[in-house]
Amino acid sequence: MTPEVGHYALVLALGLSLIQALVPLYGAQTRDVALMRLGTSTAIMQCVFVAISFGALMTAYVTSDFSVANVFENSHSTMPLIYKFTSVWGNHEGSMLLWVLILAVFGAAVAVFGANLPTALKANVLAVQAWIACSFYLFILLTSNPFQRLARAPIEGRDLNPILQDIGLAIHPPLLYLGYVGFSIAFSFALAALIEGRIDAAWARWVRPWTLTAWMFLTVGISMGSYWAYYELGWGGFWFWDPVENASLMPWLAGTALLHSAVVMEKRNALKVWTILLAILAFSLSLIGTFLVRSGVLTSVHTFATDPSRGVFILCILIFFIGGGLGLFAWRAPLLRQGGIFAPISREGALVFNNLFLTIACLTVFVGTLYPLALESLTGEKISVGAPFFNLTFAPLFIPLMFAMPFGTLLAWKRGDIYGVTQRLMAAFGVGIVAVAAALAVAGVQHVLAAFGIGLGFFVIFGAVIDLTERVALFRRPLGTSLSRAVGLPRSAWGTAAAHAGVGVTLIGIVCASTWGTERIVAVKDGQTVSLSGYDLTFDGMVQRQGPNFRELAGRFTVSENGQVVGALSPSKRTFSARSMSTNEAALLSRGFSQLYLSLGDANADGSLAIRFYYKPLVLLIWIGTLIMAFGGILSLSDRRLRVGAPKPAKVKPTLQPAG
């Protein structure tokens, strides 16, 4: 009964979305306030019905109702409860349901928090939001219904793919989807502005918090996915330039550019058309990401079996929204009044620089990801584009971008003073040069590139610090004045500094882990010791363990440094009987920000055991940096002027409807 309720609720949500897709739009055209306001209630009710639907599927999983095909294929009665929850989205159908749930939650959030948006704008935004929702409800109901029943209910399920039986599944997909889907709001606002043919600085103020929210989730989502792949796949890599990873990186790059261009639009009423275009692109890239992953057109480390017929449906959705969005842009954008043009050496000039490099970096990732597909369909030739391509194209674009970052935040609006800024950044330059020298002294001259990478990281971090000290006039005024200034400093200034410093931290982590990481792949026998980067690893034998739904063969290892035992590592191989599949559970030992990483290979005939043992210096900084970036986002979001829905334009233009 419950699955049928879920199915029916989803159909009702589709019905509501159809109403919401048309009525408020018609209302906005005819200036009928009652029709325009209809979108608010339908958006909230849609959210309620999708939540009921999602809850129904979750109930089926938690109660192990194997009469539902989806549960039968992806669950097992002995699975720990947490994985019964998470396996709801550990499969295609369920993850699409999570996608629409998040979409509906965002739609309802606009309906609730957007109380002071102009009525017509809000009506159009919700209508566009409903078009997206509508197409994805149809996709689920027509091609990927998670509530399909089996004629004869099996006694036991076929278990969730063991690789997904991990806490990472609870964290990574929901966060990533919150990011992907969050950009739909920016997209809807952009299309609404194009439909109205009018846009102003207030529009940017309304869009920014939503973009920032999506960006934060996407940042953490990508980062947690990277950490999950790092410890679960057993290769010790944190980023593979894999098509699916690129699919999440592209919206992030476009979204980061959008965040910055929206600042220019809000403060200087310029870059309007460009900001609209970026809003369309960010969500289009999210859709492309969904398509690439869901259709299985790409071979990737993440690819599992997929059904190509679904790919065609998503491709149609893709063409409709990207083509429609860009078409509307081409048709209506000339109507928007262009803002002024400005001096290259200024805050807005620096933000344009940021946008230029971010979008072009995004373009290179796009080419690298889709070129193999294009080449194969044109010539039949199959190629793979991997890390060497992106190291050659993406990295050279990111270096000038990061170098310019501290300058950008210090430059004044309208006309900046590049010499003054350079002088103020002297301390940061100094720190950077000291870092380069120290790295060269420790690691030797052959690591000159890595040393400069570290220097750049320190320059970015201290550039962000100087931005703050300059704002509070530290050391130039009495300390009391500086403190009171620091208290009065807008939270968004703290947020900017934190996010920028986070980029520097991540860069240092990437450079250190990939340059000075060491590894040993050896076969060890009982009692044998292996040394790596000053650590001694002793193999103490194997143990058998029984988990809830797997058997586990674990190795016991002791780690010592200079004769002192510093910890134990117990990597294992798990065999899941339901799928006769095994997974490799790596063992990690953190030493400060560095990690020792150990994973098991095969047992050999002579009784020895193959192991991979890595030392990853400062590897944790990679993810800590991204968390600092997201924390910066939270700080900015908590800024009074940016709070979701709260900001009101200083002067309400007579052409705008009164809020309500």
Interaction with another protein in 486-545: which residues (CB under 8 A)? Answer: 521-523
CB of 614 to another protein, least distance (A): 12
Tokens of residue 174, six digits: 């929901």
Can you tell me which of 115, 319, 383, 568 binds another protein, judged by CB under 8 A? 383
Q: Token digits for 606?
A: 């002579």
* C-beta of 392 vs 437, nearer to another protein: 392
Residues 117-156 as x/- pattern, contact with another protein by CB under 8 A? -------------------------------xxxxx-x--
Rank residues 275 and 583 by Cβ distance to another protein and give the closer one: 583
Using the rule CB under 8 A, is 565 a contact of another protein? Answer: no
- d(Cα 469, Cα 140) in Å, to the nearest integer? 52
344 binds another protein (CB under 8 A): yes
352 binds another protein per the rule CB under 8 A? yes
Binding to another protein in span 304-333, by CB under 8 A: 304-310
Pairing of the two strands 572-576 and 581-585: antiparallel
Which residue of 503, 573, 616, 623 would you call a contact of another protein, by CB under 8 A?
573
- Closer CB to another protein, residue 20 or residue 364? 364
Task: Please identify, using beta-carbon distances, which residue of 489 and 522 lies nearer to another protein.
Answer: 522
Binding segment for another protein among 263-271, 402-410, 508-516, 573-581 (CB under 8 A)?
573-581
Closest CA to 545 of 555, 536, 530: 555
Beta carbon of residue 315, minimum distance to another protein (angstroms, whole number): 16
Of residues 207 through 246, those in contact with another protein by CB under 8 A are 225, 228-229, 232-233, 244
Residue 33 as a binder of another protein (CB under 8 A): the answer is no
Identity of the residue, 540 or 602, whose beta carbon is nearer to another protein in the bound complex: 602
CB of 444 to another protein, least distance (A): 26
Reduced 3-state DSSP string for 618-632: CCHHHHHHHHHHHHH
Transcribe 65-122 into DSSP letters.
-TTBHHHHHH--TTS-HHHHHHGGGSSHHHHHHHHHHHHHHHHHHHHHHGGGS-HHHH
Give the phi and the psi of residue 603 in degrees, each rounded to 5. Answer: -80, 135
Between 224 and 464, name the residue whose CB sits nearer to another protein.
Answer: 224
CA atoms of 206 and 403, how far apart (whole Å): 30
- Residue span binding another protein (CB under 8 A) among the ranges 1-9, 70-78, 327-335, 466-474: 70-78
Please calculate the CA angle 468-472-476 and round it to the nearest 5 degrees: 115
Closer to another protein at the Cβ: 23 or 361?
361
Backbone angles phi, psi at 501, to 5 degrees: -60, -35
Length, in residues, of the chain: 660
The smaller minimum CB distance to another protein, of residues 379 and 446, is found at: 379
Q: Which two tokens stand for residue 150?
A: 């089996």
Q: Angle at CA 370, nearest 5°, toward 177 and 243?
A: 45
Stretch that binds another protein, among 43-51, 251-259, 302-310, 497-505 (CB under 8 A): 302-310
Q: Which of 9, 23, 43, 69 binds another protein (CB under 8 A)?
A: 69
Number of residues that bind another protein (CB under 8 A): 88
- One of 377, 384, 446, 564 touching another protein (CB under 8 A): 384
Closest listed residue to residue 608, CA positions, set 546, 548, 530: 530
Q: Residue 42 forms beta bridges with which residues?
A: none
Give, as ranges, the residues between 278 and 297 that touch another protein (CB under 8 A): 293-294, 296
Among 473, 602, 648, 652, binds another protein (CB under 8 A): 602
**Quick one: which of 7, 37, 84, 172 contacts another protein (CB under 8 A)?**
172
Measured from the CB atom, the residue of 436 and 600 that comes closer to another protein is 600
Among 135, 223, 284, 393, binds another protein (CB under 8 A): 393
Q: Residue 282 or 293: which CB sits closer to another protein?
A: 293
Max CA pair span of the chain: 85
Of 285, 273, 268, residue with least CA distance to 350:
268
Count of C-beta atoms within a 10 Å radius of residue 524:
19
Q: For 428-434, which contacts have Cβ atoms below 8 Å and span 24 or more sequence positions? A: 428/458, 428/459, 428/462, 428/463, 428/465, 428/466, 429/459, 431/458, 431/459, 431/462, 432/456, 432/458, 432/459, 432/462, 434/458
Smallest separation (angstroms) from another protein to the CB of 265: 16
Which of 129, 188, 364, 369 contacts another protein by CB under 8 A?
Answer: 364
